[in-house]
Amino acid sequence: MKLTKREKIMLIVLGLIIIIGGYYKFILTPQLTKLDNMRQKVIEEKAEVKKVKLEISENSPVYKEFKIINAKIKSMTKPLFPIINQEKIIVILDGMIKASNIEGNSINFSDIDISKVDVKKQEAKDKDYLIKNLSEEYKGKKTAKKEELSNQNEEDSEENKNEIEKMTATISYKGKYKDLIKFLEQVEVYEKKILVNNISISKSKENSEDEEGIIADKNIITGSIALDFYAATKIHEQDEEYLKWDFDNGYGKGDPFVPFSGYSEYNKNNEVANNDFIMTVKPISSDLPTVILGRAMDKLGRSYIYADNKDFEDVELQIVQVDKKYYYKYKTQGESFPKDYENNMMEFDPHGTTVKLNIISNKRNSEEDTSGINLSLINKTNLKLSVNIDYEDDKNPRVKVVNKLGNVKVIK
C-alpha cells in the first residue's frame, strides 16, 4: 500500500513525538530528578555549613559555654602543681624556712603516690567547681572515657576519675613559736595549694635551766610538720615558671637549698593583696570570657562568675551591712554568686574601712571590638567602696558605671 505525502508527514511527526517522549521519560526525567536531589542536598549542606559556622562563631552559645568552661578549668587547676619535682619542692620549702627564721633540721619525702580524692558526700559530686566534672565537660570525653575503660567495671572507672598525684614532705624543725606561725603563713599564702597533714610541737630541752638556774634559750620549740603536695596534668600552659627550670643546668650555686625568688601572686612581703574583689574585662576575641568577677585571692575560684558577650554585659555588685557584719553578692546576665541572688548573700571581712574592687580592663583591638560592661555598684554599708580600673581604653572605655548607690568612688 502506497502512503500519501500527508501520511508520511504524520508518521514522521509521530516518530518524533515518540522519540521526544522516550527521551523525556527515560533520559531527561531521571536527570532532572537527580538534579533536584542534588539541589536539595546542596541546600541541606549549606544549611549544615551555616549551622556549623554559627556553632563555632564567637556569638555561638556553644562557643561562649566553651570559653566559660575553659576559664573555670584553668581557675580550678591553678592551685595544683602540674607535676611533682622533689628538687623544686626542696627549693620552695627552703625559701619558706628562711623567710620564717625557723631551723629546718631535715626534710624527708614520701614516694610519689597516686592518691584518690575522697569525696565524702554524694551530693558533692554535682558541685560545678570539681576539676573532674569540668575537665570532662571541657574535653567532651565523658562517653569516650567509658569506652576507654570498657574492660573495667563501672566502679573502678569512677575511682580512676578521682586519682591525683600526691607526695608528702615531713620537716623536722626547731625555733620559736612565732617563727613557726610565720612558716605556716608562708604555706597558707603560697600560690599552690599545700596541705598541712600533721604537725607536732614540743618544748625543746634547750629551755631547761643550767646548773646556775639560768634559762639558756627561751621559748624554743621542736617538732615536725607533714605537708601534702598534689599535682594534676593540666590542659593549659599556666605553670611556665615552675616547669621551665632545667635541673641539669648550672645556676651558679652548689647547694640545692637555694631560695627561689618566686612567681607568686602575692607582694614582696608574701602578704595577701589588699583587694576584696577582682574583675577582668576582655575583648570577645580573647580565649577567656569577656567578664570574670570574684573574690580576690580565691585560689579555688569558687566565688568566680563568668560572662561572654560581644557587646556590653550588665554586671552588678552589692555590699550590704547587717548590724556589724558585712555581706556581698554580684551577678552578670547569666550567673550570680551566690546562686540564689535575690535571697542570699556571702559574709566577708573587709580590709579596713574601704572595700576595694580592682577591675583589669583591656585596650580596644579594633573597631569591631565592642565588648564591655554596664556596671552597677550598690553600697549599703558604712564603708567606702573604691573601684580602681586599670588598663582602660581612654577613647572607648570598656567599663561604664551606669548606677552608683551609697559611698562609691571610681578611680581610672
> What is the DSSP annotation of 249-283?
S--S---S--------SS-TT-PPPS-SEEEEE--
pLDDT greater than 80 at residue 233: no
> Would you say 74 and 286 are in contact if contact means Cβ atoms under 8 Å apart?
no
> Residue 73's pLDDT band (boundaries 50, 70, 90)?
confident
> In this predicted structure, which of 33-37, 155-159, 263-267, 329-333 has the lowest mean pLDDT?
263-267
Which is nearest to 332 in space by CA: 309, 310, 348? 309
* Model pLDDT for residues 185-226, shown as the tens digit of each residue: 889 888 888 889 899 988 876 555 544 444 445 678 899 999
Characterize 11-42 residue by residue with b for buried, 16 or more Cβ atoms within 10 angstroms of its Cβ, and e for exposed: eeeeeeeeeeeeeeeeeeeeeeeeeeeeeeee
Work out the number of other CB atoms within 10 angstroms of the CB of residue 392.
16
pLDDT of residue 218: 60
pLDDT of residue 269: 46
Nine-digit cell at 170?
Answer: 615531713
pLDDT of residue 249: 43
> Residue 88's pLDDT band (boundaries 50, 70, 90)?
confident
* Model pLDDT for residues 120-176, shown as the tens digit of each residue: 444 444 444 455 565 555 555 454 444 444 444 444 444 445 577 888 999 999 999
* Model pLDDT for residues 238-251, shown as the tens digit of each residue: 666 666 555 444 43
Beta-carbon contacts of residue 23 (< 8 Å; ≥ 6 apart) = none
Nine-digit cell at 289?
Answer: 570570657
Q: What is the rounded average pLDDT for all residues in the chain? A: 78
pLDDT of residue 243: 60
What gap in Å lies between CA 31 and CA 375, rounded to an integer? Answer: 62
Q: Which residue has the cell 573604691?
A: 386
How many Å is the maximal CA-CA distance in the chain?
159
For the chain, give the number of residues: 412
Pairing state of beta strands 163-176 and 103-109?
A: antiparallel
pLDDT greater than 60 at residue 51: yes
DSSP class of residue 298 equals -
> Residue 4's pLDDT band (boundaries 50, 70, 90)?
confident
Element (H, E) at 91: helix 86-100
pLDDT greater than 90 at residue 356: yes
Nine-digit cell at 119?
Answer: 569525696
What gap in Å lies between CA 204 and CA 201, rounded to an integer? Answer: 9
CATH homologous superfamily of 77-243 equals Ribosomal protein S6/Translation elongation factor EF1B (3.30.70.60)
Return the top range by mean pLDDT from 22-26, 208-212, 340-344. Answer: 340-344
Beta-carbon contacts of residue 155 (< 8 Å; ≥ 6 apart) = none
pLDDT of residue 398: 95
DSSP class of residue 25 equals I
